Amino acid sequence: MALYLYLHFPSLQCDSLADAETAGLPVAVVDAQHRIVQLNTAAAQQGVKLDMGLASAAALCHKLHLLPYQQHQQQAVLMSIAQQLYQLSADIALDEPDGLYLRLCNMLQLYQGLAGYRAALMAALALLPYQYYYASAATPLAAKCLALQRLNLLTEDCTGTDAALKRSPLSFTELEPDIQQQLQRLGIDSLGRLLALSTAELARRFDNRLVSYLGRLRGEFFHALDYIRPGPGFSRYLELLYDISDMAVLSAPLSKLLQQLQQQLERSNTLCHQLTLRLYCRDSETKSYSVGSAQGEYRAANWLKLCQLQLESHRLTAPVYGLQLEVTQFAPQQAQSDDLFQPQQGNVSALQLVSLLQARLGRNAVSGLSLQNQHLPEQASSRPLPLLQTRSLTGALLQRPAFILPQPRPLQEAVEISSGPERLCPDGWQLAAQRDYFIGRNSKGQWLWLYRTAQQQWFVHGLFS
């Protein structure tokens, strides 16, 4: 027997703001017609009701915090809930803007009955800050109708749900207002009375919208649901209740996003190497930062540290009203093995250390060193990314200085030559550009690496240290 559950979230956009700061603050969402469409419990306690006009709501509660309804954000929040519940239930379909269909019948065996499923689902929903109502029934539309009435039924027993369904007023159905009005004129005010009529009779009098709805409600017609598949990556947006213009304050909402990232990474047993943080600034262009970790991290605390280091070096020019965190690629976790007899001293690995340094100092400030197969000294040393395992093909040349000056500087002091010359010629044997290298010691006792050009000019190119 088919069994569906409908989850109804009446105040998604309000609840997605919830944190310690906004606790106790009445918040409501208004649509374009200035009607209240969502409100939180604090606002409800003050007497604000749904569908109320803005003026009466403001008169009832002068501290009411209003937000404009944003369809895009509502969708994103609904999708994120669906992705979190996907760990529990295989078949989940979105019902925009504020509901989810869950197909239960194929999950009951896994949870050994409805009680086990219910416990797992309630535990998962309790972690989320959203208000919800639920109901189960044999068809998706019946479940939705019951959930909208906030009945909170979860049972395999058909008679109970049927009775409740028959009592439901027509306003909780998905029928269009003109059909509802027509039915009311006929004296039909509950779903039970509508279901009692024969379908053939109704089809003669009403158009096929009503027939199709009733067919899907009864389960006679096939109701196609578009079940979600979790996409790769992670993308969350967080709207701030207050504009933030201080980087340090930003870490509190950021850690909330990172916690969500950690949950997702933990579930899939993966980690990520790079995340993109976007700060939406008021009256200014969006700032985007990319934070990297060479080793790969999943812990929110480590990511927060890296983000903070990166943000510290920047200044906010405009207040931030929203944060977005995006990860496009996940990598599988790899266990690291430590030496049993020589345990590592710290709790940081070399790759983590490099990421930490790069986050604060910038990518270019941290590098490694590798030996290239080149005879010219300025090309022999290259500065690749740190900790790259490169196999050197060449033997190192002896008699090279410890430091090469980035720009050779003209020799301007007396030097005592102790060894040389060593003639180096640039590519193509350009004889005019050949250089004769010498090692010399100046009056201060410094050992210099000098060269003489074909034009008999002397330059200092390196320092023996």
User: Shortest gap between Cβ of 359 and other proteins (angstroms)?
Assistant: 11
Considering only 12-20, 36-44, 95-103, 447-455, which stretch makes contact with other proteins by CB under 8 A? 447-455
Site for other proteins in 266-295 (CB under 8 A): none
Tokens of 177: 């207002």
- Please report whether residue 360 would count as binding other proteins according to CB under 8 A: yes
Bridge pairing between strands 36-39 and 435-442: unpaired
The answer to whether residues 173 and 191 touch, using CB atoms and an 8 Å cutoff, is yes
Among residues 59, 115, 331, 387, the one that binds other proteins under rule CB under 8 A: 387
- Please report whether residue 352 would count as binding other proteins according to CB under 8 A: yes
- Please report whether residue 450 would count as binding other proteins according to CB under 8 A: yes
Q: Look at residues 4, 1, 6, 43 and name the one whose alpha carbon lies nearest to residue 22.
A: 43
Considering only 51-59, 114-122, 141-149, 397-405, which stretch makes contact with other proteins by CB under 8 A? 397-405
The gap between the terminal CA atoms of the chain, to the nearest Å, is 84
Site for other proteins in 290-349 (CB under 8 A): 342, 344-349
Q: Look at residues 354, 353, 356, 408 and name the one whose alpha carbon lies nearest to residue 377.
A: 408
User: Shortest gap between Cβ of 151 and other proteins (angstroms)?
Assistant: 58
- Which residue type, as a one-letter code, is found at position 23? A
Closest to other proteins by CB, 132 vs 303, is 303
**Alpha-carbon distance 254 to 407, whole Å?**
44
Closest to other proteins by CB, 112 vs 334, is 334
User: Shortest gap between Cβ of 396 and other proteins (angstroms)?
Assistant: 4
What's the order of all strands across the beta sheet hosting 99-103?
92-95, 99-103, 4-8, 133-137
Relative orientation angle of helices 251-268 and 300-312, to the nearest 10 degrees: 140
Among residues 86, 111, 221, 458, the one that binds other proteins under rule CB under 8 A: 458
- Please report whether residue 398 would count as binding other proteins according to CB under 8 A: yes
Residue by residue, DSSP assigns 388-449 as ------SPPPSS--SEEEEEEEE--S-EEEEEEEEEE--TTT-GGG-EEEEEEEETTS-EEE
Considering only 60-68, 130-138, 269-277, 353-361, which stretch makes contact with other proteins by CB under 8 A? 353-361
User: Shortest gap between Cβ of 261 and other proteins (angstroms)?
Assistant: 24
Q: Between the CA atoms of 160, 164, 166 and 169, what dihedral angle is there, to the nearest 10 degrees? A: -170
Site for other proteins in 399-418 (CB under 8 A): 399-406, 411-418
Among residues 382, 430, 454, 457, the one that binds other proteins under rule CB under 8 A: 382
3-state secondary structure of 8: strand
User: Shortest gap between Cβ of 440 and other proteins (angstroms)?
Assistant: 7
Q: Look at residues 41, 33, 32, 35 and name the one whose alpha carbon lies nearest to residue 14.
A: 41
Among residues 396, 429, 431, 455, the one that binds other proteins under rule CB under 8 A: 396
User: Shortest gap between Cβ of 308 and other proteins (angstroms)?
Assistant: 13
Closest to other proteins by CB, 214 vs 356, is 356
Closest to other proteins by CB, 38 vs 352, is 352
User: Shortest gap between Cβ of 332 and other proteins (angstroms)?
Assistant: 23
Among residues 105, 163, 331, 369, the one that binds other proteins under rule CB under 8 A: 369
User: Shortest gap between Cβ of 410 and other proteins (angstroms)?
Assistant: 10
Q: Phi and psi dihedrals of 302, rounded to 5?
A: -70, -40
- Please report whether residue 424 would count as binding other proteins according to CB under 8 A: no
User: Shortest gap between Cβ of 341 and other proteins (angstroms)?
Assistant: 12
User: Shortest gap between Cβ of 425 and other proteins (angstroms)?
Assistant: 18
Q: Phi and psi dihedrals of 55, rounded to 5?
A: -65, -45
The answer to whether residues 371 and 394 touch, using CB atoms and an 8 Å cutoff, is yes
Considering only 26-34, 55-63, 174-182, 445-453, which stretch makes contact with other proteins by CB under 8 A? 445-453
3-state per-residue secondary structure call for 172-227: HCCCCHHHHHHHHHCCCCEHHHHHHCCHHHHHHHCCHHHHHHHHHHHCCCCCCCCE
User: Shortest gap between Cβ of 309 and other proteins (angstroms)?
Assistant: 10
Number of residues in contact with other proteins, rule: CB under 8 A? 69
The answer to whether residues 146 and 165 touch, using CB atoms and an 8 Å cutoff, is yes
Closest to other proteins by CB, 58 vs 371, is 371
Residue ranges binding other proteins (CB under 8 A): 342, 344-350, 352-354, 356-357, 360-361, 365-372, 377, 380-383, 386-390, 392, 396-406, 411-419, 438-440, 444-448, 450, 452, 458, 462-465
